[in-house]
Amino acid sequence: MRLFFAGFFCFLLAASPVAAQPAGSGNFGSLPVSVVVRTGRTVTQEPDPAPPLTDRWIAYDKAQHFLASALLVLAGQYVLEAKGGAGHLSALPLAVGTSASAGLAKESWDARRPGGSGFSKKDLVADAAGIAAAVMVILW
C-alpha cells in the first residue's frame, strides 16, 4: 500500500498539465515589437500587460503543495519517533500541526509580498490533501 501512495505522489508531480516555463519562452506578447512602415519611421507597439494569474485546481503548484505537505508530515513523524523518542501516535499531531502551519505561513507570505500570487484557498486544500495522505500512510 505504501508503494501505491509513493507512485501516486510521483504521478501527481508528473501529470501536471502546465509545466513551469521560464519568462519569455515562446511568449512574444511580453516583448516590445518594432515595425518599420514605408515612411521609414519606427512605430513601437507596447507589450501586452501580463495576464492575470489564474488559480486552477489541477496545476503544477497544487502537486508541489500536496507533496511538500505530505513529506513534511512524514519527515516530522520520523524525526519525532526515531530521534525524539516520541510514541507512534503522540508524534502525529505535532507533525501534522507543523505541516499545516508551514502551508498557512506560505499562503500568508504570498498574500503580503509584492508581486505574489495572493492567498489561495485551493493551495490550502492541496496542503490538507497531502497531510491526509501522509496520515493514512503513517496509520496504515
Considering Cα of 137, then 82, then 10, then 108, what sign does the dihedral take? positive
User: In this structure, what are the phi and psi dihedrals at residue 59, rounded to the nearest 5 degrees?
Assistant: -155, 160
| CB proximity list for 2: less than 8 A, separation 6 or greater | 137, 140
pLDDT digits (tens, 9 = 90+) for 41-96: 665 666 555 445 678 888 898 999 999 999 999 999 999 999 888 888 899 999 99
Domain boundaries, the chain: 2-18+53-139
Does the pLDDT value for residue 35 go beyond 90?
A: no
- pTM for the structure as a whole: 0.61
Burial of residue 105, with CB atoms counted within 10 A of its CB: 0-12 exposed, 13-18 middle, 19 or more buried: exposed
